[in-house]
Structure 1
């Protein structure tokens, strides 16, 4: 999956999104999404990359627990046939919940 395909998928949520972060002062009101590809877990064969696997993180930010927003993101991922793991944390300094969807594509 390319970055363009991933962005197209995120567009289906209707939430504002940006790669890694929004520019200072341009962060939208929650809910919003940041996504990034922080690394890879490629498969090798004969000392070469045989199959490329990108780590993907989709971070959903909300100012309150929002099961509806989470369900929307999960529906988009499920419809695309993507297996993901989910975790959540409250970011006290930002007063935001971060729901993290981790996957490999």
Structure 2
């Protein structure tokens, strides 16, 4: 899966989506995603397989199990295993749910 395909899949959830941040203010719930780090498969001084670790971040005003389920179900549909963390961002007054996924070859 490519980064562009991930973006399209996230857009299909019906929430605003942007890479890293939005140019102007948006109302929660919304999603951002960004490259976090690479974990390429290497051998013989070559990168054989590009493995990009991305963070898909869901922001909500209150604990929003329905929005979380939409994101989880989409990642499962795409066969993208994920790990998940949650934080309350006191300055922004938002919940942040981070899903870390790997994109192979994309």
Output the TM-score relative to the length of structure 1: 0.95
Equivalent of residue 65 in structure 1, options 63, 68, 77: 63
Unaligned runs of 5+ in 2: none
Inter-partner Cα distance in structure 2 for 1:18 and 1:4: 11
| Superposed displacement of residue 104, structure 1 | 1.3
Deviating beyond 4 angstroms after TM superposition, the runs of 4 or more aligned structure 1 residues are: none
Q: Is the 8 A contact 1:90 1:96 kept in 2?
A: yes
Residue 90 of structure 2 corresponds to 92
Candidates 72, 75, 87, aligned match of 1:74: 72
Gaps of 5+ in 1: none
Question: Taking structure 2 as the reference length, what is the TM-score of the superposition?
Answer: 0.94
Deviation at 1:34, TM superposition (A): 0.6
Of structures 1 and 2, the one with the larger relative CO (CA 8 A, separation 6+) is 2
The alignment status of 1:45 with 2:46, answered yes or no, reads no
Q: Give how far 1:12 is off.
A: 1.6
**Which shows bigger deviation, 37-46 or 82-91?**
37-46
**Number of residues paired by the alignment?**
103
